[in-house]
Structure formats: C-alpha cells, structure tokens
Structure 1
Amino acid sequence: MTRKNVTPLLQRNDPDSEPLTGNTKVTRQDWLNVAMDILISDGVEQVKVLTVGERLNVSRSSFYWYFKSRQDLLNALLQHWDETNTAALVHQSETPADTITGAICNVFRCFVDDSLFNTWLDFAIRDWARRSGSVRRVLDQSDETRLAALEAMFARYDYPAAEALTRARVLYYMQIGYNLAELNEPMSQRLKMVPHYLHAFTGLQPAPGEVEALRDYATAVSRGEKS
C-alpha cells in the first residue's frame, strides 16, 4: 500500500510553549502522536522506542515513564484508533437527523474532517492487521461495530431489516474502498457527487439544505474554521 506523506502529528496545544528539544519534558500523548505518525508513514515495523525517541529528541528513559514496553505502546495506538475513528463513525451515525439522507450526511462528516476520522490511520491499522492476527481480530470487531451502527441508522428510518443491513454494507464498504483507491479527487468534485451518492445509498433524493450544510461544513474544515 502506498502511504501518503503526512504532516507530523506532534504538536502542543499551547502555541507559545517551548519546542520539543533537549531537556524539554514530553508527555505520553507526545510519544503516542509521534508513534502514530511513524505508523502511518512507515508501517508498524518502524514503530520502535529508539526511533520515536530520536524524533522527539529525548532519551529512551522518558518512554518508560509512560509505557511498560513497545507492545504497550502498540496497544495504546490500537486503542486510540478504536476510541477515535470507530467511536466517531458510530457517534455520527447516531446523530439525530430528520431524514435518512441527512443522517448519511452526518456520517459523511467523518470523511471530510480528519479530526473526526483519520483515514490514513485507518489505512495503517488495516495494513498492520495483515501482519498480526490479534490486530486482525480487533479490526474485525471494529468493522462489525461500525456496520451495526450504520444498519441501526437505516432501521431508524423504517428500512426493513434485510434492506437496512444491505444498504449499511454498501455504504460502508464503498466508503472504505473509495478511500483505499486514493483517487486524489478534489474535495469539490467529491462533494458535487454527494446528491447522487445519497440517492444510490437510500433510493431517495436529499432534502433541501442537507447537501449544502455538508458543503459548508467541509469548507469550514478546510479553512480551519470549524467550531
């Protein structure tokens, strides 16, 4: 799998804080952020204590304040992914909407907002799962959880059980495959297709304002103006 060049995730919440150099104390989240950056850009094999420490410019002894071992760090990365990506998709699928097309627009927010759903982290976890049976089992459970949430979303809008399951699977697997294809499609083109995708997923036309609200959200995200 070709990996995209990503911006390092290491950051401070306080823009006036000192840069991470020399004797500056790093946090557990700093270790996780850099490890995640390496996982996304280079794969799980390169997530090593020494490598992360060098990126942080700190000694390995700092690592053991927060983690018992490399495996402990890897477990934390997997937990972070599950508590962010999977949780976000479930939450968005449960967000109230007047129509099923509006509900799907809520789900689509995951795929236009990296702060909700980190697509590149999802790729990295799937790549990792090809090398680890235990990670594969976690991934399978996550996929089941996501699909169940989408199925329940369709069921809330009175789709029969078999149809709710089928439409949930079409929506989810299309979105995963769409992202894995790495089409390099401009967001403007992707958003232009949203009304047609909604019709394909639901059999219905979107209600007035639903697609425009999603476009406004995507624009705010791109400008860093999302509240």
Structure 2
Amino acid sequence: MKTTGENSNKNNPLTRQDWIDTARTMLIEEGVSSLSLRRIASRLGATTGAFYWLFSNLEDMLAGLRKDWETRNSAAFDAIFDHSKLDCYEKYIGYVRVVLKESGYDPKYDSAMRDWANSNELTREVLTRVDNKRISQLQTMFGEMGFNQRAARVRALMTYFHQSGYYWMGVEETLEERLANIPYYAEILIGSDFFSEDMTHNDLRNLILGEQAEHNA
C-alpha cells in the first residue's frame, strides 16, 4: 500500500509540478530520449511509487509537460498581444523585447518541443495549435498597422518562421548584433519610417531592452 507522497524525502513530498519541472529540464538538456519514468525518477532521487501516487501513467505526466510548455512559453507573448492599452507598434516592440531578452520565454524549450513533435503525434498537435495561435497574434498586429489580410499574414509568417528557424539552426550572434539588426527587420516588415533615422544604438537599446545608455559603456 502506498503512503501519501512516497518519495526520497518524506518530510517534503514531491508534487506533480516537481516531476514536470524535472522532465522539462531533461527534455531541454538531453532531448526526448530522456523522457522515461526511470530516468526522471533517478534525477529526482524518487521511487516509482512516488510517481504513481501523483500520475496515472507516464503519458499523464507527459500531457502535463505539454501543457507546461504551452502555458509557460506563451505567457509573455499573450501578455503583450492581449494588452488592451498597447497599440500595434508597442506590441511589435514588446514582441521583439521578449524575443531578444528571452524573458518569460525559453527558445530552447521551443526547440526541444519541435524535436519531440517529430516523433510524437500528441506533441505535434499541441505544437501546431501554439504555432497557429502565435502566427495569428502577429497577423492581427500587422493588420492593425494597416496591412491587408494577405500582407499581414505573410509578414506574420516571415516574422515567426525567421525567429523559429533562427533558434532551430543554432545561429550564433551576440545580443549587440541582434539588436543592431532590428531596424533592418522593421524596415522590411513594416517600413523605413518605423525607427527614426537619428536613433542611436543606445536609444535603440533603451527602447528595446529598457536599459539606459550607460549600460552599454
């Protein structure tokens, strides 16, 4: 008979989120092959009894991991696109800020999920749903800028596929290089007048990253 919260530390029982957090770390660091009950339990120093007290089976936990990604890695984008007081241009700056600072968003988590989706239909379904939602958010934003439906759609796809491919291909650029490229991406996607011609690199840093010029000294 199982005891409540059976695990390696009976005074501090593991929770469902503990298992999901560990599975997330292992997925990102070691890939989909690490998602076995034995390996995750070993990382936690826990028993299978502790696992089955919280989950009906491995798939139950993997479903929780998919939900964790869908919620955790979309929250920062949702906060921007669902913000009623931000105009479309502020939303664009906010989107770029999240992507560059990787605050509230882990691109390695996205890449790990894409890898997992190649071999798992349920993961692929979740990934497709999230991809479609993010593209739709971008399309709506570009539509609010005045682009027609097709033009907004293409710009959304360009923005999203570029960013996803950037991480998937493992492109290595410094933050300064990425920041310096922003006005050129904006020129292609929105127009040459999005950023002022006299905007300095430090002005751009402050606008996108919220850091004062002296931080770049």
For this structure pair, what is the TM-score category when the shorter chain's length is used for normalisation?
Answer: 0.7 to 0.9
Q: Displacement of 1:111 after TM fit?
A: 1.7
Q: Which runs of 5+ in 2 are unaligned?
A: 1-6
Q: Is the 8 A contact 2:206 2:212 kept in 1?
A: no
1:177 paired residue number: 165
Distance in 1 between residues matched to 2:49 and 2:179, nearest whole Å: 48
The residue type paired with residue 216 of structure 1 is G
Distance in 2 between residues matched to 1:190 and 1:210, nearest whole Å: 11
Counterpart among 138, 157, 160 of residue 126 in structure 2 = 138
Matched, 1:159 2:152: no
How many residue pairs get aligned? The number is: 199
Q: Is the 8 A contact 2:8 2:45 kept in 1?
A: yes
Distance in 2 between residues matched to 1:105 and 1:70, nearest whole Å: 40
Counterpart among 32, 37, 40 of residue 52 in structure 1 = 40
1:31 paired residue number: 19
Matched, 1:212 2:201: no
1:119 paired residue number: 107
Distance in 1 between residues matched to 2:153 and 2:184, nearest whole Å: 20
Q: Displacement of 1:44 after TM fit?
A: 2.1
Q: Is the 8 A contact 1:191 1:215 kept in 2?
A: no
Please tell me the root mean square deviation across aligned C-alpha atoms, in Å: 2.5
Shift of the 60–217 alpha-carbon distance from structure 1 to 2, 3 Å rule, reads: farther
The residue type paired with residue 143 of structure 2 is A
Structure 1 residues 67-93: Cα deviation after superposition (integer angstroms, max 9, x where no partner): 111101110010111112234323323
Distance in 1 between residues matched to 2:70 and 2:207, nearest whole Å: 27
Q: Displacement of 1:27 after TM fit?
A: 2.3
Please give the TM-score of this superposition, normalised by the length of structure 2: 0.81
Q: Displacement of 1:175 after TM fit?
A: 0.8
Please say which of residues 20-29 and 172-181 is displaced more in the overlay: 20-29
Distance in 1 between residues matched to 2:106 and 2:66, nearest whole Å: 13
Q: Is the 8 A contact 1:49 1:60 kept in 2?
A: yes
The residue type paired with residue 40 of structure 1 is I
Counterpart among 50, 69, 72 of residue 60 in structure 2 = 72
The residue type paired with residue 200 of structure 1 is I
1:7 paired residue number: none
Shift of the 108–66 alpha-carbon distance from structure 1 to 2, 3 Å rule, reads: farther
